[in-house]
Amino acid sequence: MLLTPIDIHNREFSKSFRGYDEGEVDEFLDQVVNDYDRLCRDNEELRDRIARRDRDVEQYKRMESSLQEALSVAQRTAEEVTSAAKTFALETKENAAKDCQSMKLRSELESQKRIEEAESHAKKIIEEAEARAKQTLDEAMGKVRVIVSEYDRLVRDRNRFLSILRETMEAELKLLDRTLEEIPNPEACEQAESAQVSERLVKQQEEADYVKSHGSGYQAEVEAVAGDRTVDGKEKLGNVGDSV
C-alpha cells in the first residue's frame, strides 16, 4: 500500500540525544510531502485525460460502426442499381429485338441506339455508385487511422509518465529510508553514556585506592597538580600516577 502525503506529513519520530536537527528533518519531510502531493495530482490529472481520451475513442468507434453501416447500405444500393440497370438493359435489348422483327432496318437502328443509351446510363450509374462507396470507405478509414494513432500516443504517454512516477517515488522512498536509518537509536546512546560514566567512576576509585596505599606524600603531589585540568573536565591524575 502506497503512502499518502498525509501519512508522510503526520509521521512522528522519537527524540534522542545527538539526533538530527528537528527543523531540518521537518523541512525535508515537508518537501517530500509537497513533491509526493504534486506527483499524485499529476497522476490523477493524467488518468482523467486518459479517461476522456478513452471516451473519445469509444465515440469514434461508434462513428466507425455507423460509417460501416452506411458503406454497407451504399454497396447494397449500388448492387441494386447495377442489377436494375442490367435488367433494364436486357429488357431494352429484348424489346429492341422484338421491334426489329417488325420494323426491320429502322427498328434495328432505333433499338441499337436505345441499347447504347441504356448501357451508357447503366455504366454511369455503376461508376457513380462505386465512386460514392469508395469515397465513404476512404473517409471512414482515414478517421479510424487518426483515432488509432491518437490512442497509441496516449498509451505511450501514460506508460512514460507511470515509469517516471515510479522511478521518482522509489528514489524519494530510498532517500527517506536512508534518513530514517541514520537517526541514532536512543537506547544505544544511553548505553554509551552509561559506559563512559562507569569507566570514569572505576578510574577515580582506582586512583583513590592508590592514594591511600602510598600515603600523604603522594596526596601532596596530587594537590600540587590539581589545577592542571583539561577544558573538557578530564583530570591528568592518571599521568601523575604513571610517573610515581
- What are the pLDDT digits (tens) for 58-75? 888 888 888 888 888 888
Does residue 40 sit in the same domain as residue 72? yes
Which contacts (CB < 8 Å, 24+ apart) does range 43-48 have?
43/161, 43/162, 43/165, 46/157, 46/158, 46/161
Q: What is the mean pLDDT of the chain?
A: 73
| In-domain check, residue 13 | no
Model pLDDT for residues 189-230, shown as the tens digit of each residue: 566 667 776 777 777 777 666 656 655 454 555 455 444 443
Q: Is the pLDDT of residue 151 over 50?
A: yes
Confidence class of residue 155 from pLDDT cuts 50, 70 and 90? Answer: confident
Does residue 29 sit in the same domain as residue 99? yes
Among the candidates 161, 183, 205, a domain finishes at 183
Question: Is the Cβ–Cβ distance between 82 and 121 less than 8 Å?
Answer: no
Range of the domain at 226: 191-243
**What CA–CA distance (Å, rounded) separates 21 from 27?**
10
Does residue 211 sit in the same domain as residue 132? no
**What CA–CA distance (Å, rounded) separates 44 from 60?**
24
Number of domains in the chain: 2
Does residue 30 sit in the same domain as residue 123? yes
Question: Is the Cβ–Cβ distance between 156 and 104 less than 8 Å?
Answer: no
Does residue 134 sit in the same domain as residue 222? no
